[in-house]
């Protein structure tokens, strides 16, 4: 009896491996995409059951989302970005910094921009084809941002903050997810 109890609590409190953490993250992002696009599914349980039947687990994943919602205007992807580079402190000692430590001057740099470099590295790690539409979701502290190459209509959003980066013929926009998903809307969703 004690073994079953210990196994139960160990499964709840044990540290998750990288795959499990990513899957939990993807599950949260997919739910966020659906709700921030203004969609209220008739049954989340039905979606979970469809996902479980197709993937073998009850967590939404980017792969499942991209295959199931083919009308979504871009490939959904993303991950947490830990460190984005190094920066010299006041004493000249270089140390690793996270995205949350970047200040406005760091984000607005035209060259050697740590935000762009971190997102570009993450896109490369995820084998994202930047020639095709993509939405890469990543958190910074308690806010969820995305990098994307979509052109969206922002006329219905009162105020919208975006960082637009251009390199050669590629454009990448970074903004909070709620602005992008609100502008995408729910026309792609079918119950």
Count of CB atoms within 10 A of residue 35's CB? 14
CB contact set of 54 (below 8 Å; sequence gap of 6+)? 64, 67, 68
| pLDDT band, residue 142 (cuts 50/70/90) | confident
**Whole-model pTM?**
0.84
| pLDDT band, residue 135 (cuts 50/70/90) | very high
Residue with tokens 């959904």: 76
* E strand or H helix at 109: none
Asked if residue 136 has pLDDT above 90, the reply is yes
Residues β-bridged to residue 135:
76, 148
Q: 113-130: per-residue pLDDT in tens? A: 888 889 989 998 888 888
């Amino acid at each position: 009896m004690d073994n079953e109890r210990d196994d139960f609590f160990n499964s709840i409190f044990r540290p998750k491996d990288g795959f499990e953490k990513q899957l939990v993250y993807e599950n949260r992002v997919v739910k966020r995409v659906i709700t921030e696009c203004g969609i209220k599914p008739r049954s989340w349980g039905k979606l979970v059951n469809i996902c479980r039947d197709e993937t073998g687990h009850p967590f939404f994943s980017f792969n499942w989302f991209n295959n199931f919602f083919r009308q979504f205007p871009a490939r959904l992807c993303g991950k947490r970005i830990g460190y984005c580079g190094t920066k010299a402190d006041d004493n000249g000692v270089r140390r690793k910094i996270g995205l949350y430590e970047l200040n406005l001057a760091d984000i607005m740099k035209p060259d050697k921009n740590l935000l762009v470099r971190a997102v570009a590295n993450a896109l490369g790690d995820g084998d994202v084809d930047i020639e095709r539409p993509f939405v890469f979701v990543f958190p910074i502290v308690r806010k969820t941002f995305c990098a994307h190459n979509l052109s969206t209509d922002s006329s219905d959003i009162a105020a919208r903050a975006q960082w637009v980066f251009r390199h050669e013929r590629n454009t990448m926009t970074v903004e909070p997810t709620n602005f992008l998903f609100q502008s995408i809307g729910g026309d792609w969703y079918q119950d």
